[in-house]
Amino acid sequence: MENEVWAQIGNGKQDAYAQLYVFYYKRLYNYGRKFTSDTALLEDALQEALMAVWTGRDRLKTLRTPHTYLFNSFRFILFRKIRQAKRLSPYTEAQEGEPEFGVEQVLVLRDTEAALSQRLEQAVRGLTSRQREAVFLRFYEGLSYEEVAEVLGISVKGTYKVMARALLQLKETLSLPLLAVLVLLRDLL
């Protein structure tokens, strides 16, 4: 269905664009919150990225993965706005612009799950910003390695290396088998 919506946008269907807007707004907003707490800046970047889809809809037909293009475009616009804001105000938070890909607990089911969740969150914080971002895109957003590579602006091989190092570090930090780490990431992110 998603591919059909993209194709309809490429043909100028405003209803399809409205569907896309609703579908991606929250996903992009959550992704952007990993980089900044400035909601006005974040919403400006969101609006600009989503408007770029509509104004550049003729090019959508040539894109292999339009949703990856949207994430990549949003990331580029957001980083540009963060840099501009830092230049205008030297009193921004030191952490601003550094992604924090922590684990958000949706429901606390049992004490053991809460403890595991806390351990995983702490372990994820120990990753580099690039590793946290890759883990977030891969496990939370469900992007493929190729799509993560495109969003991060690195090669697919580089993405595999970043993910492998992140997973190995999580495995060592949590003292769990790799399979258990993967299950935790899938279930708790």
Taking alpha carbons only, the member of 115, 7, 1, 110 closest to residue 53 is: 7
Average pLDDT over residues 43-70: 82
Residues 36 and 53: their CA atoms lie apart, in Å, by: 23
Lowest average pLDDT, out of 27-36, 83-92, 106-115, 159-168, goes to: 106-115
Q: What is the pLDDT of residue 102?
A: 41
Average pLDDT over residues 9-35: 84
Q: What is the pLDDT of residue 160?
A: 93
Residues 135 and 142: their CA atoms lie apart, in Å, by: 10
Confidence check: pLDDT of 111 > 60: no
Q: Which two tokens stand for residue 123?
A: 């372990």
Q: What is the pLDDT of residue 138?
A: 87
Alpha carbon distances (Å) from 161 to 71, 80, 135, 171 = 21, 26, 12, 15
**For the whole model, what pTM was predicted?**
0.55
Q: What is the pLDDT of residue 187?
A: 63
Complete DSSP assignment for 24-37: HHHHHHHHHHTT--
SS3 track for 49-94: HHHHHHHCHHHHHHCCCHHHHHHHHHHHHHHHHHHHHHHHCCCCCC
pLDDT band at 113 (very low <50, low <70, confident <90, very high): low
Confidence check: pLDDT of 76 > 50: yes
Q: Which two tokens stand for residue 163?
A: 């993910």
Residues 74 and 116: their CA atoms lie apart, in Å, by: 32
- Amino acid identity, residue 98? E
Confidence check: pLDDT of 134 > 80: yes
pLDDT band at 162 (very low <50, low <70, confident <90, very high): very high
pLDDT band at 129 (very low <50, low <70, confident <90, very high): very high
